[in-house]
Structure 1
Amino acid sequence: MALKMQPGMTAAGLGGKLGISGEAARQQLLRLAQEGLVEAQSISQGVGRPSQAWRLTEAGQARFPDTHAGLTLQLLDLIRQNLGDEALDAIIAAREAVTRKNYEAAVAEREGMRDRVAALADLRSAEGYMAGWHEEPDGSLLLVENHCPICAAAAACQGFCRAELDVFRAVLGPDAKVEREDHIIGGGRRCSYRITEAQST
């Protein structure tokens, strides 16, 4: 909180603010740095050794609450009220198209179902879904998402979840059969997708 309110403090300055020694503050800062929550920048103050000014990293900033979920819900509601469901569907479709294009480009060089699913899991994790995958005993692949960063929007408009499933099917290709098994919005602990080789006809 101190670094949020006053970024760029030294360990000594932070110690003074918290009523502890500079060395104790430095030890706390080093532990936070190991967790990726703060970082130091050397600053020169004339003669002598440069000081280290500490600030929050992006991960550290993310520890503080924001109102993006509430804003998202308000915007969705305003679109629906003022422009209608068709406009909302068009926005979701446009988002789906952009996501699909980005995902397809990222997996274009991947060969084989396992490599494509692994690439998709990496993409989803980078977007905050805490995704992973593994092979089941029957040979099917299970893509698991342990977090949903758009949960509020998805709960208000199921079109987001439908669009994601469509994107997965498009990106993994016609030889993949993708079925959702667990669904956070439906009360599940996670979202999971079972992927099997499509039967040729």
Structure 2
Amino acid sequence: MVFPTADRILFFIKTHGPVSTATLARKLDLTSEAARQQVQKLVAAGLVEGRQQPAAGAGRPRQDWVLTEAGNRRFPDTHAQLTTQLIDSIRQLFGEEGLDRLIAKREAEARVAYAAACDGESLEERLRQLAQVRSNEGYMARVERDGADWLLVEDHCPICAAAQACQGFCRSELQLFQEIAGQDAQVAREQHLLAGGGRCVYRIHKV
């Protein structure tokens, strides 16, 4: 299947951004002018915006491209409006304690499902199984090696609206990842979508 150039650019920025026009041209096999024109169309459509990056040495600051909120909405979000309304209703009816009980129940159910799916003998195998489970849930997850460590990278958050309304969901996920990694590894969140990061990145360090 051949995807329109604009969609290819949006996907590349989603999975690799912030990214420069020159990088888009090189990675997507476009001319510099074609990449510039496509980016400007996406800017005009409100799907992409520039972000200044510090200059390397004495050079001028570089402008990279990131997705706007509208651009991110081009990727799946799990019934965002209904989810936030339900969270607000639970908070009003049962208070924070009731919401904490809901998160705990979700965590318990996820723990059983993740443990069954991520039963590899090695840390690498469990992490790759975890990335597959998360991708199936819409997180666009992958595992990368970084020196002696592993990185679990999630380019999308299908429950972003729920996590914004209640960050207990994020705390719950971090605990689940630690349990999958096991006692011989330490999991730490290095980038967080809700803290302004382009994605969520978890570093797994073997201890």
TM-score by length of 1: 0.64
**Which of 116, 124, 127 is the aligned partner of 1:105?**
116
1:46 aligned residue: none
Q: Does 1:75 align with 2:108?
A: no
1:170 aligned residue: 179
SS at match of 1:188: coil
SS at match of 1:189: coil
Amino acid at match of 2:126: R
Q: Does 1:144 align with 2:153?
A: yes
Tell me the C-alpha RMSD between the 2 structures.
2.1
1:133 aligned residue: 143
* 8 A Cα contact 2:77 2:158, kept in partner: no
Q: Does 1:91 align with 2:122?
A: no
Q: Offset at 1:170? A: 1.1
Structure 2 Cα separation of the partners of residues 183 and 67 of structure 1: 19
Amino acid at match of 1:104: A
Structure 2 Cα separation of the partners of residues 70 and 31 of structure 1: 32
Unaligned runs of 5+ in 1: 1-29, 33-62
Moved more, 84-93 or 65-74: 65-74
Cα deviations by residue, 1:36-61 (Å, 9 ceiling, x for unpaired): xxxxxxxxxxxxxxxxxxxxxxxxxx
Unaligned runs of 5+ in 2: 4-73
In structure 2, relative to structure 1, the CA distance for the partners of 1:69 and 1:197 (3 Å cut) is same
Structure 2 Cα separation of the partners of residues 155 and 192 of structure 1: 17
Structure 2 Cα separation of the partners of residues 186 and 64 of structure 1: 19
2:20 aligned residue: none
Structure 1 Cα separation of the partners of residues 150 and 75 of structure 2: 36
Number of aligned residues: 137
* 8 A Cα contact 2:78 2:158, kept in partner: no
Identity over aligned pairs, percent:
55
Hey, which bits of structure 1, 4+ residues long, moved more than 3 A? 63-67
Matches within 5 A, 1:1-201: 68-108=79-119, 110-137=120-147, 139-198=148-207
Amino acid at match of 1:113: L
In structure 2, relative to structure 1, the CA distance for the partners of 1:161 and 1:67 (3 Å cut) is closer
Structure with larger Rg:
1
Q: Offset at 1:68? A: 1.8
Q: Offset at 1:66? A: 8.7
Structure 1 Cα separation of the partners of residues 77 and 191 of structure 2: 28
Greater length-normalized contact order (CA 8 Å, ≥ 6 residues apart): 2
SS at match of 2:193: coil
